[in-house]
Amino acid sequence: MLEHTESTARQYALRKRAVALGWKDDQVIVIDSDLGQSGASAADREGFQKLVTEVSMGRAGIVLGLEVSRLARNSTDWHRLLEICTVTDTLILDEDGIYHPADFNDRLLLGLKGTMSEAELHLIRARMRGGLLNKAKRGELATPLPLGFAYDDESRVVLDPDQQIQQAIRSVFDAFRRVGSAFGVAKEFRQQGWQFPRLIRPPGGPAEVGWSDLEHNRVTRVLRNPRYAGAFFYGRTRFQKKVEGGGRSRDLPRQEWHTLIVDAHPGYITWRDYEENLRRLQENARASGVEKRSAVREGPSLLQGLAICGVCGSRMTVGYRQRKEGPYPFYICQGPREVDRIASRRSAKPTLVGSSPTVTSKDLSPARLPAGTHFGFCAFMLAMVWSLSCRRGALISNAFSCSAGTTIAMPLFACSTAS
């Protein structure tokens, strides 16, 4: 648009065409606020929205354009404008002639022009997308690089020449290899007084490298980015549109990525180390299922990372309340989804069953449990007894039958729920 201005000059010359058709010069309004914007959607197009407003209020007698179908390359927006022009008896003019949308044949022709304009946009996108994907398949597509990498004069990916940045990134992987958790890495950086680089993008200026404290989410981003293992990837996320406008990016499983090329450029770790880091992060994931364990953390809770909800199967998190005798642990089911957590917040408090240091499954027999006791409660109490018994050297049986007739084998546990 900046270099090829002939089309823009022709559009501004339409004012003279309107005057020649009988409109006074002060009656002609030029709407040019959408120059350089795509007509794929009416969202964020102030000029098109102003045009629709003026036409719908009956203040426009004719709409002029070189190719009026390019006012909106979206059939929904284009046909809505045609319907409003039909109601307000507004004419439409382009290089091919003058149209009256209230006339069926004119409206049919304008509708076909709009459909062809939308198809043209699809073909343009398809050609550009095809070239981009073909370049990505070869690993030659230039994409934004994470901190620690740069492009050389031949557009090849190399390690950042700043040795301080390199050392900071290597320290993240070394610390994770020692402590085994992302929180532990961030904690070690704070204890040692180390800082981590970050990009600062001032408005209207080039990006600059700044230094700040390392946060947990930045640690996980570094550990999960295949670039640090020397791999080129493309198509790791997919953008999902929303009805109200905008959208969000969704991470895809690796088998659905468009391109993944291992050892495409120098990296900070090997691909085998990258896979191992992902496995350890997965094991450390809290409240994400029965088969996943949590990283060992401080606190007196005996069932930390072991308690499982008897209703939804999610791993329960641990909290503490301060009492005179010290921290008092309690277990909370976060639920598999946010709606479940809002609808029913399930919690459990560890309670010693019986005062004897030797506790057996007889103390948890159906006859000794209150009527209507939930299965999750029975399993939770069994787990508590098992933990306390192990600590006190007591013995218990290997299985327990709850009042519902279900046998729970050790050491698969569940936790109590408010039923």
More confident residue, 139 or 37: 139
Mean pLDDT is highest, among 47-51, 368-372, 414-418, for 47-51
User: How many CB atoms within 10 Å of residue 417?
Assistant: 21
**CATH 3.50.50.60, applies to 6-135:** no
- Residues 137-175 as b/e (b if ≥16 CB within 10 A, e otherwise) read eebeeeeeeebbbeeeeeeebebbeeeebbebbebbbeb
- Residues 251-255 have a mean pLDDT of 91
Q: Where in 4-111 does DSSP place strands (E)? A: 62-64, 91-94, 97-99
∠ CA(383), CA(308), CA(224), 5° rounding? Answer: 130
Predicted pLDDT at 65: 82
Predicted pLDDT at 59: 86
C-alpha span between 370 and 359 (Å, rounded):
18
Task: Indicate the pTM of the whole model.
Answer: 0.58
Evaluated on CA atoms 57, 58, 61, 66, the torsion sign reads positive
In this predicted model, what pLDDT tens digit does every residue of 5-55 receive, in sequence order? Answer: 777 777 777 888 888 888 888 888 888 777 766 666 666 778 888 888 889
pLDDT at 297 over 70: no
- Residues 281-286 have a mean pLDDT of 78
Predicted pLDDT at 51: 86
149-284 has which CATH code? 3.90.1750
DSSP state of 240: E
Q: Which residues contact 196 (CB under 8 A, 6 or more apart)?
A: 168, 172, 189, 211, 212, 213, 214, 218
C-alpha span between 47 and 62 (Å, rounded):
16
Helices (H), 301-396: 338-343, 375-392
Q: Which residues contact 203 (CB under 8 A, 6 or more apart)?
A: none
- Coil vs helix vs strand at 206: coil
- What amino acid occupies position 372? G
Q: Which residue ranges make up each domain of the chain? A: 6-135, 149-284, 285-419
Predicted pLDDT at 286: 53
